[in-house]
Chains A and B, each alone.
Chain A
Amino acid sequence: MTVFIIRRLLQALLVVFMMSVIVFFGVNIVGDPVYMLVSPDADQADIEAAISRLGLDRPILEQYWLFLKGAAQGDLGDSFIFGEPALRLILHHMPATMELAFSALILAIVIGIPLGLYAGLYPESRMAKGIMAASIFGFSLPTFWVGLMLIMLFAVELRWVPATGRGDLGSFLSIQSSLFTLDGLSHIFLPALNLALLKISLAIRLTRAGVREAMGLDYVKYARAKGLPMRRIILVHVMKNIMIPVVTVMGLEFGSLIGFSVVTETIFAWPGMGKLLIDAILQLDRPVVVAYLMIIVLFFVLINLIVDILYSILDPRVRLQDQGA
């Protein structure tokens, strides 16, 4: 077991290292940020001063070495644009993203599971067919396009909720979040719904498949043979079996929600780290791009690591397989 965890940890480290190479060299080959940062009529001396200030005159390997050294100490360089440490900039934007992703996850579960349950119980009904057709759309519609439509419908036409930005923050248990104020909620509704759309479809499909499978299984027939009311069979016997895998899978999607929030945040001008990334890419603010990507990689590697370890604890077969390979 310990061997297994150590092996996985080393693998995770290796992945993070490899990604740092790819990301760093990739990002640093593109464009020349100096021309964006120095005014067009600056003379050669100004430009050179800027270059050496940003460390861009050193050989790229040395830049990478400095980056690694800094990274080990939690310093991922300063933003070219803001002059602030990139890591601090990202951490500063992180709560907004987390809040958005979290709301989307909750929406997906709260909307997707009941719809999936219905579609699974009455697969031949018109409503169920409608739900499934909608979920195919949910899967195929590009998020950004749905975002645009949401803005057009709810913010421009109906004027129910504001189109962009994050609302007032409230504080609860010393956590600052827009979920705690009415204004905040009205701001987060559209982006959260937009971000949740794909996951709602996922929840519908997972739940429906699970329900349909479970309904055909012996234990459901047996529960019926015991004379239990349908309500209890569905809510206790079926749902309890399905909720565990569905919620687990949905939880695993949290990482991808954070990844996808790049799109949603850009459309809804949500001040999270995804929007920060796009702005940084457009402005060639390399340290911020690199720092964001490193943090995301770290995040995913961590999620996978935790999942792997949890599974290996829960399922002894995984461990054996790993030793065999």
Chain B
Amino acid sequence: MSRVLEVSGLKTHFFTHAGVVKAVDGVDFTVSKGEIMGLVGESGSGKSITGFSILGLIDPPGRIVEGSIRFNGEEIANAKEERLQNLRGNRISMIFQDPMMTLNPVLRVDTQMIEAILAHEPVSKQTAWERSRDALGLVGIPSPEERLRAYPHQLSGGMRQRVAIATAFLNKPDLIIADEPTTALDVTIQAQIIHEAQKLTKKTGTAMIWITHDLAVVAGLAERISVMYAGRIVEQGGIDDVIDRPLHPYTVGLLGSVPTANRRGQRLFQIEGMTPNMLALPEGCAFGPRCHARTDACGLQPSIEDIDGRSLRCFNPQRAAEAVT
């Protein structure tokens, strides 16, 4: 399989008054053509910043301080703005979390879709309009002509998110970064949207990074999963492997907090403690203070290792698995 995206050693830091926030601090992963990869982690773990780094949308006081982002073989970390602008919305699209906030309230839907095409292709407005209409049809929007003429506030949240998804697919990108696109929607709509997105990736061969804090969402959607904690990937592997047999204590914890059919009746497991303060991470393993499987070794920083066809950042993978079962 050809690799669409290869991220290695990515570090994106924010230089604030209060100190340096290492929002992304050494992230490696790859995404292949047509693959959906889930990027999972608690709030503040650096998922969105990873996505924005790929698009080159990190604003001061933040910047990519280290690492490489290869897109179709081309290095795009800290690439020229011109080049990035060319890729954004064209080869790499992004869908944001809150559909109520992402569409511009004073511009009609057609304006906002057509401009996404015209920014990258010298086609006529008419052609662009037709393509927008067809794209809306593809994500299951009834009477797309009418919707095109609407202002965002005339559409429901689910409808707006479909518009955003349709827009993301407009230029047939190689990669779509979907940043928690269903978190703000209610459960039935969420399922529909996930379904539409999955269908479209299959159809177009677009690769996708699906960011979420909800393991249940990616379980049925992604092929591979990367779990992030405090700016680093702690576990990465095939979705079934990871879900059936999590090796990292944090993943175990995340899974424990998801109610699933086969563990019905069991007490939901919660990860203890607070999400870490990104300005003052503990020495050694960042998950240490909240970890059940902690040993003396954990006073050092675990590095990422390949075990059983997956990547793991933990000194005591076995103990972790035992702790829950």
Contact = CB atoms under 8 A, between A and B. Distances in A.
Is there any pair of Cβ atoms, one from A and one from B, under 8 angstroms apart in the complex? Answer: yes
Contact of B106 (A222, A226, A240): A240
Contacts, number: 64
Contacts of B119: 226-229, 232
B55 A225 contact: yes
Interface in A213-271: 217-219, 221-229, 232, 236-237, 240-241, 244
A222 B87 CA distance: 14
Nearest to A219: B104
Nearest to A214: B104
Contact-size category for B: 20 to 34
A266 B98 CA distance: 55
Contacts of B55: 225
Given A236-B107, A240-B106, A244-B106, A226 B101 contact: no
Given A218-B101, A219-B101, A221-B57, A228 B115 contact: yes
Contacts of B156: none
Contacts of A241: 104-106
Contacts of B101: 217-219
Interface in B67-115: 85-90, 93-94, 96, 98, 101-107, 115
B116 A222 contact: no
Contacts of A244: 106
B63 interface: no
A229 B115 CA distance: 10
Interface in A153-174: none
Nearest to A228: B119
B290 interface: no
A222 B101 CA distance: 9
Contacts of B94: 222, 225
Contacts of A221: 57, 96
Contacts of B104: 219, 222-223, 237, 240-241
B98 to A, nearest CB: 6
A229 B93 CA distance: 15
Contacts of B106: 240-241, 244
A218 B115 contact: no
B167 interface: yes
B57 A226 contact: no
Interface in A177-228: 217-219, 221-228
A23 to B, nearest CB: 43
Nearest to A237: B104
B120 interface: yes
A226 B102 contact: no
Nearest to A241: B106
Contacts of A223: 104
A226 B105 contact: no
Nearest to B88: A227
B116 A219 contact: no
B120 A227 contact: yes
A83 B116 CA distance: 69
A217 B102 CA distance: 8
A276 B47 CA distance: 67
Contacts of A224: 57, 88
Nearest to B91: A227
Contact of B102 (A218, A227, A232, A236): A218
Q: Which of B101, B102, B104, B106 has the most CB of A within 10 A?
A: B104
A227 B107 contact: no
Contacts of B103: 219, 222
Interface in B101-150: 101-107, 115-116, 119-120
B96 A226 contact: no
Given A227-B90, A229-B85, A222 B102 contact: yes
A240 B107 contact: yes
A221 B179 CA distance: 13
A227 B116 contact: yes
A237 to B, nearest CB: 5
Contacts of B90: 227
A225 B89 contact: yes
Contacts of B120: 227
A306 to B, nearest CB: 23
Given A217-B101, A218-B98, A219-B101, A226 B107 contact: no
Contacts of A240: 104, 106-107
Nearest to B98: A218
Given A217-B101, A218-B96, A218-B98, A228 B107 contact: no
A221 B96 CA distance: 9
A232 B105 contact: no
A236 B105 CA distance: 12
Contact of B89 (A218, A219, A226): A226
B98 A226 contact: no
B96 A222 contact: yes
B96 A227 contact: no
Nearest to A242: B106
Contacts of B85: 227-229
Contacts of A219: 101-105
B105 A227 contact: no
Contacts of A229: 85, 119
B88 A225 contact: yes
A244 B105 CA distance: 12
Interface in B49-66: 55, 57
17 contacts: A218-B101, A219-B104, A222-B102, A224-B88, A225-B55, A225-B89, A225-B93, A225-B96, A226-B88, A226-B93, A226-B115, A226-B167, A227-B85, A227-B90, A232-B119, A236-B115, A240-B104
Given A218-B101, A226-B88, A227-B90, 12 more contacts: A218-B96, A219-B105, A222-B103, A222-B104, A223-B104, A225-B55, A225-B88, A226-B93, A226-B115, A226-B116, A227-B119, A241-B105
- Ranked nearest first, the 10 interchain pairs of A and B with the lowest CB-CB distance are A227-B89, A227-B88, A226-B89, A218-B101, A225-B94, A222-B102, A219-B104, A226-B116, A218-B102, A240-B106
